[in-house]
Amino acid sequence: MSDKKLVVAISSRALFDLQAAHDIFEQEGVDAYCQYQIEHEAEVLAKGVAFPLVQKLLNLNDAAADKIQVEVILLSRNSADTGLRVFNSIEHYGLDIVRAAFSGGDMPYRYVRPFGAHLFLSADPEDVKAALDSGLAAATILPSKANDSEEPLLRIAFDGDAVLFSDEAEQIYQKSGLAEFEASEKADAEKPLPGGPFKEFLAALHNIQSHYPAKMSPIRTALVTARCAPAHERVIKTLRAWDIRIDEALFLGGRAKGAFLAAYGADLFVDDQQGHCDVASEFVLTGHVPNGISNKQ
């Protein structure tokens, strides 16, 4: 196994249910929040919406064989003092998370790159937007129906334009319509699309997959896109040019994605369009990627 492991950074509010404490912060301020967290330090936090995903990520490691394929880093706006409750909860659930940054109210995304993380998941849209603007793969975790399946296989699904790929094609679609978009994509079928913010994350998943026979990989990936023929060809040839494996590709031609993601069994789906995310979140854990022309308004 290559020593190049997958590193995922996650916020405390995505990992645990901190809504009660966050409400106190919003309504009464930081001092009341700090007092509340310290007073409830011994109380274990309930699992957050991304907890099952983190558990599956960590289960990819084989501690007995000393084979570490995935590391999860905790990033939090808490101070070290108020963050003690979070670490107590990590210990309670037996999560192998040992590295963390408590930024004391400042944006914690600044530590994504120094930790070498391929992905940042947070419940705070402001932190996510700042991370994306810095060239990092990031998504805002929405209130979602998380996959509670006990299947060990990790299933990650991606939208295409503005997520895996740049939004150059999406710009044509929004400015000139479907016919012009399809004509442009057909004409450029041999020209690989530029990479989007999640290209390197997909590459990191592929790196782990490449050490297993295809049918024995612990990770399965899918492209779930509103594209259809003839705009499918450029996408397929782009992934081929990148030499990155994608296990499944769903070209839905505008169909709602939720039921397809449920059928796939996604542990995480990321999309740049809020409407698609709202629908998907009713079926699977969903992250909004505020990138590209759809998020310029």
Identify whether the C-beta of residue 81 lies closer than 8 Å to the C-beta of residue 34. Answer: yes
Determine, yes or no, domain membership for 81. Answer: yes
Same domain, 42 and 174: no
How many domains are contained in the chain?
Answer: 2
Q: What is the pLDDT of residues 162-199, one digit of tens each?
A: 999 999 988 888 888 888 888 888 888 899 999 999 99
Same domain, 158 and 289: yes
Among 140, 166, 181, give the residue marking a domain's end: 140
Same domain, 159 and 239: yes
The two three-digit tokens of residue 121, written as one number:
């998941």
The two three-digit tokens of residue 82, written as one number:
């108020």
- How does residue 66 score in pLDDT terms, banded at 50, 70 and 90? low
Query: How much is the pTM?
Result: 0.92
Cα-to-chain-centroid distance, residue 40: 30
The two three-digit tokens of residue 92, written as one number:
């309670």
Give the chain's mean pLDDT.
Answer: 90
Domain that holds residue 266: 154-295
Same domain, 51 and 125: yes
Beta strands 119-122; 219-225: pairing state: unpaired
The two three-digit tokens of residue 201, written as one number:
């994350």
State the average pLDDT over residues 247-265.
95
In what order do the strands lie in the sheet containing 248-251? 100-102, 70-76, 6-11, 119-122, 138-141, 286-288, 268-271, 154-158, 219-225, 248-251
Among 106, 140, 174, give the residue marking a domain's end: 140
Q: Which residues contact 40 (CB under 8 A, 6 or more apart)?
A: 21, 85
Identify whether the C-beta of residue 60 lies closer than 8 Å to the C-beta of residue 72. Answer: no
Same domain, 64 and 164: no
- How does residue 231 score in pLDDT terms, banded at 50, 70 and 90? confident
Report the percentage of the chain scoring pLDDT > 70.
97
Integer Cα distance of 115 and 152 in angstroms = 26
State the average pLDDT over residues 270-289.
96
Integer Cα distance of 146 and 93 in angstroms = 18
Among 105, 140, 175, give the residue marking a domain's end: 140
The two three-digit tokens of residue 160, written as one number:
């295409």
Q: What was the pLDDT predicted at 188?
A: 84
The two three-digit tokens of residue 22, written as one number:
């966050």
Determine, yes or no, domain membership for 1. Answer: no
Determine, yes or no, domain membership for 200. Answer: yes
Same domain, 268 and 136: no
Determine, yes or no, domain membership for 244. Answer: yes
Q: Return the axis-axis angle of helices 30-39 and 19-28, rounded to nearest 10°.
A: 150
Same domain, 194 and 93: no
Same domain, 13 and 112: yes
Same domain, 104 and 174: no
Instruction: Kindly report the CATH number assigned to the domain that includes residue 30.
Output: 3.40.50
Instruction: Kindly report the CATH number assigned to the domain that includes residue 225.
Output: 3.40.50.1000
Determine, yes or no, domain membership for 197. Answer: yes
Q: Which of 263, 74, 243, 48 is nearest to 155 (CA)?
A: 263
Same domain, 271 and 163: yes
Report the percentage of the chain scoring pLDDT > 90.
64
Same domain, 91 and 166: no
Residues tagged active-site: 159
Determine, yes or no, domain membership for 10. Answer: yes
Q: What is the pLDDT of residues 209-221, one digit of tens each?
A: 998 988 899 999 9
Q: What is the pLDDT of residues 140-153, one digit of tens each?
A: 999 998 777 778 89
Q: Would you say residue 297 has pLDDT above 70?
A: no
Determine, yes or no, domain membership for 160. Answer: yes
Residue whose structure tokens are 């409750």:
85
